[in-house]
Amino acid sequence: MSGQSKERFMRPFIIGASLLFFIGVAATVVLPFYDEVMQRENANAKIKNYAIDSPEYRGRQVYIREGCHVCHTQFVRPVKADSSLGPVSVPEDYRHDYPHLLGSVRTGSDLTWVGTRWNEQWHRVHLKNPRQVFPGSTMPSYSYLSDQDTEDLIAYLMSLKPAPSTEGR
C-alpha cells in the first residue's frame, strides 16, 4: 500500500484529466473541422442551401420541429445495407446543413434522397395517414399540420435529390 501515499494532491488529477480531455477534443472535434473536405461545398450542398424565405427552408424547419430526424436518417453509407438508397454521402454534401439532420436510428427509412422516390400527391396522402398507403406502418399521422406546413414540408422532402453531377457515386 506504499503507492497510496502519493495521492494527497488534487493537482495531478486536475491537470492530467484536463490535458487528456483536450487532446481528445483536438483530435476528434478541432482537427476534423479544419480538414479540407469539411470546408468544401459541392452541388448537393448548394441545392440544400435554401434561401430563408423559401418553402423548402420552412419545410426543413417543420421537419425539425416535428422531430422527423428522430426516426429517419439522412446519410448513405458505402455498405450493403444502404445499397439501394442512392449516391453515397460525402462530407461536402452537408457543408450548409444547419442543424445537421444525419440522425442515428432508422425506425423509418433513410430520407437522404427521398425526393427521387415519390411525388407530392403521394406525400400529401402519406403524411396525413401513413397507414392508407402503407398498411401496418408505425409512423405517426401528421394530420394536425396546417396546409401551409404540410406543403412546405413536402417541398423540402421533394428537394432531397442528388445533383446530376453526383449521381452514381
Partner 1 sequence: MTAIAHNENRVVRLFFYSSITWLLIGMTIGLILAIKYVWPNFLVWGEFLQKYLSYGRIRPAHTHVVLFGWLSMAYAGGLFYIIPQLTRKSLEHPRLAHAIGILWNIYIVAAIVTLSMGYTTTIEYAESTWPLDVYLIVLVAGAAYICFKTIAKRNESQLYVSLWYFMGSLIWLPFLYIIGNIVTYFITGIPQALAGWFYGHNVIGLWFTTVGVGFIYYLLPLLSKNPLYSHKLSLIGFWTIATFYVWNGPHHLQNGPIPAWLMKAGVIPSVLLIIPVWTVLANVFGTMKGKWHMISENVPLKFVVTGAIFYLITCLQGPFQSLMQPSAILKFTNWIIGHAHMPLFGAFSFVLFALFYHALPSLTGRKIYSDTLMNWHFWLSIIGFLIFAFTTWTAGVMQGFAWTEGKQYGVPFLEVVVSLQPFAIARAIGGTLMFIGQIVFAYNVRRSIKDGQLLSVEEKSTSTA
Binding to partner 1 in span 100-119, by CB under 8 A: 100-110, 117
Residue closer to partner 1 by CB (options 111, 155) is 111
In angstroms, what CA-CA distances link 17 with 51, 164, 168?
A: 44, 49, 47
Write down the least CB distance from residue 77 to partner 1, Å.
4
**Which of 56, 93, 151, 152 is close enough to bind partner 1 by CB under 8 A?**
93
Choice from 140, 148, 165, 167 touching partner 1 (CB under 8 A): 140
Show the cell assigned to 145.
399540420
* Binding residue (CB under 8 A) for partner 1 from 42, 54, 90, 163: 90
C-alpha cell at 2: 506504499
Counting contacts by CB under 8 A, is residue 51 touching partner 1?
no
For partner 1, which residue of 58, 69, 123, 161 counts as binding (CB under 8 A)? 69
Within positions 9 to 48, which residues make up the interface with partner 1, using CB under 8 A? 9-10, 13-14, 16-18, 20-21, 23-25, 27-29, 32-33, 35, 37-38, 45
Verify binding: residue 125, partner 1, rule CB under 8 A.
no
| Nearer CB in complex with partner 1: 18/124 | 18
d(CA 144, CA 159): 23
Residues 150-169 that bind partner 1 (CB under 8 A): none
C-alpha distances (whole Å) from 76 to each of 28, 68, 81 are 21, 17, 9
- Does position 79 bind partner 1 by CB under 8 A? yes
Cβ within 8 Å of residue 159, ≥6 positions away: 47, 48, 50, 56, 59, 115
Sign of the Cα torsion 155, 111, 84, 131 reads: negative
**In the numeric block, which cell numbers belong to residue 107?**
425506425
